[in-house]
Structure 1
Amino acid sequence: MTDTAAPPLAFDPLDPVALTQALVRCPSVTPEEGGALDLLARVLGAHGYRVERPIFTEADTPPVENLYARIGTQAPVFVIAGHSDVVPVGDAASWTRDPFGGEIVDGALFGRGACDMKGGLAAMIAGALRYRRDNPDAPGSIAFLVTGDEEGPAVNGTVKLLDWAHRRGERFDHCLLGEPTNPATMSDMIKIGRRGSLTGELLVKGKQGHVGYPHLADNPIRGMVRLLAALDATPLDSGTAYFDPSNLEVTTVDVGNAASNVVPAQARAVFNIRFNDIWTPETLAAELERRLREAAGNTVRYELICRATNAVAFLTEPGPFVAMVADAVEAETGTRPVLSTTGGTSDARFIKSYCPVVEYGVVGQTMHQIDERVAVADLIALQRITERLLGRYFTEAG
């Protein structure tokens, strides 16, 4: 439980800009908590939330602290999810502003995590606090799932926090994940699903030898070229109603050969596939193996290793909840956002197993970059969108 007797905060947590600044000033580079969860626990605890801070561990990964908070005891339960951890700042000398300063210049708030995703998290918290302040007797419950492991291995974060909550009897009805989904403006995009991600390692075996005596060697590079061409020759699919076609990209080809007169013994390639909901990791691996086997025939010796993945494709079917989020965005921005499944992976891939989830947040143009920043106006817009969404959600629930 949170100690609500702590000294009062030096800022107004109902102000999304001030709360973002306070969070940015916490150096919570994965897996360090950096004071970010302490801050959120104080804010939420002071406003009536029951706050818990489970720490999860696993071999060969750092322990990670997480936060779960809830106000209310009845259904429906609306979950707001996000992460407090950030990526490293990189070359701090290249920043024009302190990466952990939260400085506002020309209408933009600078700092690591400003848009990914401390700004989004702060704006949603401010919106939720404002909603409960103005509607103390509203039906249902609001819960927060905040991890410190989204930018890292994603092993001791949301996936375990969800399981922990479920085993304690917590049940969720809908979730809004505050990732920075918008490409350019706050009216651009809502994510209603994500592609899966599968990484494969292809090893082609040959026989080392002198290039002047090719009959005594077996060059694996020829086989590698043939197999990679077979993987890429035919599209995996043509996409679906809400997903682009699955895409395979070769990310490295290596032979480790420093000598120009030696045929190498083996060649290695790594590729990644971002796949849509036509595939599962298992069916995709089987298709890759089929293509390789057919191309290799009896002449190319190879081994395919598909690495384990927890990133599967999923879709939150458009319906009343998705429309409700889009309505709130349109009401505040004047433009209806498109529904998208583009981009990389997110913790929504874990949440979707517990309740329908959509993603909406601030503009993400500078995430992970030097001088990461978020527009102050966008923080205020997201606070208002969140407040509006909660009002309609619990009005219809009641």
Structure 2
Amino acid sequence: MNEQLALAVRGRTDDLVALTTDLIRFPTVNPPGEAYTPCAEYIGRRLARSGFAIRYVRGEGAPGDSDRYPRTNVIARREGRAPGVTVHFNSHIDVVEAGDGWSVDPFAGKVRDGRVYGRGACDMKGGLAASIVAAEAFMAVYPDFPGAIEISGTADEESGGFGGVAYLAREGFFSKPRVDHVIIPEPLNKDRICLGHRGVWWAEIETHGAIAHGAMPFLGDSAIRHMGAVLHAFEEELFPALDRKETRMPVVPEGARRSTLNLNSVHGGQTEDFFPGLPAPNVADSCRLVLDRRFLIEENIAEVKGEVISILEKLKRERPKFDYAIRDLMEVLPLMTERDAPVPSAIAAGIREVFGKEPEYVISPGTYDQKHISRIGHLHDCVAYGPGILDLAHQPDEWVGIEDMVQSATVMAMSLDVLLRGARAPG
């Protein structure tokens, strides 16, 4: 155990808690992208006091970016005293909406019973705070370190990351020679290393019909009924087929080791939001379904799409007047970093020191910003590691454990020691 680093992190526990609560108090809800700029500037001021050079980069032109809701990202860099590699900690600052069911104010950052509560506590402001404290502790113990440390707070991960990491990757912020190693402090549990994620295909299916008076529906053609036929075919054919597909990837939780399909939303008819009036008395001439298909490394994206299209084409042949359109919204291929790459090896060394056990290697059921670092930045030495329990993300009364943050920050600091100074774990 590197006692100096462990004590340096432990001695910053109160600061770590205060930093986490401060970050939670910025209601960076996405959509629409509230409070990005003040949150990014808070992070920038904090890291500037620790000697980091600060840049703010707006993801101009990205989905959702506007003067009212600018996609503001902060990138901080601290150069060492000698040449060397660069280690980058990347965290997203956006959170999902709070929703109902909370017993505490979701944006108060309440501390209770060894936990910090609030929207984003787990996903992932606790991880962001841990990475900042880890870097500061490391620099205090080893002020003459070689190479460089970067820390970023980025926008829009919860909606695909296009105004955040994707934009920055296109601008060269996540590519060599600027950056060599990336750690993303997503909440995958403090003794786990997340090597990658499943693939995702989002698409919108629209069924077509013909408008008519609702009192004489036989004169029209209901697009909603056509969508009902699509849903019935999915239930009878697609869902059972997906449930039979399993992966060799160590995806958590267990249920995500199969292919899955979520029906995100269905919208049909001419008047969807009629409060306080009444709906229009019309036959629906359009119905739209958004689907979220998560797929495995063993599956081909063309086959994934083909399974859905074949059902739609069969309905077109067999169901009178059935017609449809389909539109891709997003696609991301599965990815998995090798566990013996430098970053997972360094984190594994830290986990062995802090917890006295071998790490568990996992794959995330959903995508996160590693996809952009790998596909756009062509930087593959990247994993997710951070405090927090994945199942708490996006839930009411979301929380992160204080001791979990301290221990994860210690692992991160020791990982910096391995990657920048070439330290080796004892034994």
Check whether TM > 0.5.
yes
Q: Deviations over 1:139-170 (max 9, x none)?
A: 22111122132234633111112222449985
Q: Is the contact between residue 36 and residue 84 of structure 1 (CA under 8 Å) also seen in structure 2? A: yes
Instruction: Give the counterpart letter for 2:324 in structure 1.
Output: E
Q: Look up the match of 2:350.
A: 328
Equivalent residue number for residue 241 of structure 2: 234
Is 1:48 the equivalent of 2:51?
yes
TM-score (norm 1): 0.80
For 1:255 and 1:41, how far apart are their aligned partners in 2?
Answer: 45
In structure 2, relative to structure 1, the CA distance for the partners of 1:305 and 1:88 (3 Å cut) is same
The secondary structure found in structure 1 opposite 2:84 is coil
Computed over aligned residues only, the root mean square deviation of the Cα atoms, in angstroms, reads 3.7
Q: Deviations over 1:248-302 (max 9, x none)?
A: 234456665999xx99767654432101223454453244324543565455633
Structure 1 counterpart of 2:387: 362
CA contact (8 A) 2:156 2:164 kept: yes
Deviation at 1:377, TM superposition (A): 0.7
Cα distance in 2, alignment partners of residues 240 and 369 from structure 1: 27
- Cα 1:297–1:152 change in 2 (3 A) is closer
Deviation at 1:90, TM superposition (A): 3.7
The alpha-carbon distance between structure 1 residues 82 and 221, as it changes in their structure 2 partners (threshold 3 A), is closer
The aligned residue for residue 385 of structure 1 is 411
Indicate whether 1:374 and 2:396 are aligned.
Answer: no
AA at the equivalent of 1:249: N
Q: Which residue number in structure 2 is paired with residue 305 of structure 1?
A: 326
Alpha-carbon distance between aligned partners in 1 of 2:174 and 2:311, rounded to the nearest angstrom: 43
Distance in 2 separating the partners of 1:339 and 1:235: 24
Instruction: After TM superposition, give the deviation of residue 12 of structure 1 in Å.
Output: 6.5
Do the aligned residues in 2 keep the contact of 1:14 with 1:127 (CA within 8 Å)?
A: no
CA 1:325/1:216 → structure 2, altered by over 3 Å: closer, same or farther?
closer
Native 8 Å contact 1:71 1:141 kept in 2: yes
Q: Provide the rounded CA distance (Å) in 2 between the counterparts of 1:223 and 1:55.
A: 44
Find the aligned partners of 1:25 and 1:256 in 2 and give their Cα distance: 40
The answer for the alignment partner of 2:313 in structure 1 is 293
SS at match of 2:182: strand
**Kept in 2: contact 1:231–1:292 (CA 8 A):** no
Bigger Cα displacement from structure 2, 48-57 vs 232-241:
232-241
Deviation at 1:233, TM superposition (A): 4.9
TM-score computed with the length of structure 2 as normaliser: 0.76
Aligned-pair identity (%): 27
Unaligned runs of 5+ in 2: 1-10, 252-256, 271-277
Query: What is the distance in 2 between the residues matched to 1:319 and 1:170?
Result: 21
Given that residues 330 and 337 in structure 1 are in contact (C-alpha distance below 8 angstroms), is that contact kept between their aligned partners in structure 2?
A: yes
Equivalent residues, number: 381
In structure 2, C-alpha distance between the alignment counterparts of 1:38 and 1:215, rounded to whole Å: 59
1:211-245 C-alpha deviation (Å, 9 max, x unpaired): 99989989736853664334345338733321523
Q: What is the alpha-carbon distance in structure 1 between the residues aligned to residue 62 and residue 145 of structure 2? A: 43
Match of 2:262 in 1: 249
Partner SS, residue 58 of structure 1: coil
Shift of 1:101: 3.2
